[in-house]
Structure 1
Amino acid sequence: MGVTPVSPVLFDRFYSPTIGLLDKAAVFSNIEQTVSSTAGTCEIIVGADSKLRNRSTSFAIVITLIRHGRGGNFFYHTFQERHYASLQQRIFQEAIYAVGLASELRHYLRERNIDIPISLHFDIGKNGPTRKFIQSLLSLAKSNHFRAEIKPYAYCASSIADKFTR
């Protein structure tokens, strides 16, 4: 059973350091055009991270497009939500956002006959308090037909998204 895609209103604006501010439709279109016009292989990764604030939780969700041998680009969206006191709630919320956005992007690309694998990066690892969530989140990814990485290989979440939650 798959995760229902995230509300389209939630991730309505993204920022790309190389392009600037874009709405989600423009991000998806940019990805479609890049993948279609790239001679080599491309890789798409979706990751998320969060940080607790005094009264809220700061989230960043990132779509990374890598053109192997030709560089890449990323798009990120940041937002604030309620304060998640539980680490488990916060980590699972990050994962649900990543799965939902990745599902939405995959659907968009498949409607245009582009079947490119999209993987997920989860900000969890074998060391530290998040290790107890590994099996659950990898199962979540697998049940939604995504490959997933955890730290130290989950750079989209642990490096890129992490930069924008500060």
Structure 2
Amino acid sequence: MGVTSSHEQQVEFELFHSPSKGPLSKEAVFSEIEHTVVDQIEHYEVIVGADSQLRRSSTSFAIVISLIQKGRGGTFFYHTFQRHHFPSLQQRIYSEAFYAVGLASELRQYFKERQIELPIRLHFDIGRNGPTNKFVGYLLSVANTNDFPADIKPDSFCASTIADKFTK
């Protein structure tokens, strides 16, 4: 089943940034991942996560695709954007999650069309301790409904560390 189709969740992630390659289109990111893993797919995993930061008049979002080579580190690509002011923590957390699910779904479709079976995980910037604990069950259910394994804090580094860095 799918991700919400509300207007707010429909974001075009067209321009990403790579620390090593600079600006890249979404298609170039997907292609870069494909070319990196093509001969050793069993050694890789993709993780998608997002974070947000409330500003005075808007909310700053960062969404990250991490390509992890198991036991050897990895690389990442990120996209930042602004949305209207989300005063509610629940709105922000749910938006982060739905953006991540949407992008992960696009990536999975890209791989499927190329007959690439690469695992994709979601990382949510929520945890069992603190104010986000009330969202854990629902968001893990959203991930499961969309056929993605998901991690939360303290295991969600893609959202809580990498994406967090780009919302500041």
Same topology, TM > 0.5: yes
Q: Which residue of 1 aligns with 2:121?
A: 119
Cα deviation, 1:86-119, whole Å, max 9, x if unaligned, reads 0000000000000000000000011000011100
Please provide the CA RMSD for this pair: 1.4
Q: Which residue of 2 aligns with 1:31?
A: 33
Aligned partner of 1:2 in structure 2 is 2
Q: Percent identity?
A: 64
Q: Secondary structure at the match of 1:65?
A: strand
**Cα separation, partners in 2 of 1:138 and 1:44, compared to 1, 3 Å:** same
Residues 40, 67 of structure 1: 8 Å contact kept: no
Counterpart mapping for 1:3-82 below 5 A:
3=3, 7=10, 10-38=12-40, 41-82=43-84
Distance (Å, rounded) in 2 between the aligned partners of 1:155 and 1:104: 21
CA distance in 2 between partners of 1:84 and 1:22 (Å)? 28
Structure 2 unaligned regions, length at least 5: none
- Alignment counterpart, residue 138 of structure 2, candidates 133, 136, 156: 136
* 1:123–1:154 CA contact under 8 A, matched in 2: yes
Structure 1 alignment gaps of length 5 or more? none
Look up the match of 1:91: 93
Query: Offset of 1:2 from its aligned partner?
Result: 1.5
Alignment correspondent of 2:112: 110
Q: What's the offset of the Cα at 1:69? A: 3.4
Deviations 1:113-159 (A, max 9, x none): 00111000000001110000000000000000000000000000000
* 1:30-51 CA distance string (max 9 Å, x none): 0111110337510100000000
Q: TM-score, normalised by structure 1?
A: 0.95
User: Distance in 2 between the 1:68 and 1:92 partners?
Assistant: 29
Structure 1 segments of 4 or more deviating over 4 A?
A: 4-7
Q: Which amino acid aligns with 1:59?
A: F
Residue 98 of structure 2 aligns to a residue whose secondary structure is helix
Aligned residues: 165
SS of the residue 1:105 aligns to: helix
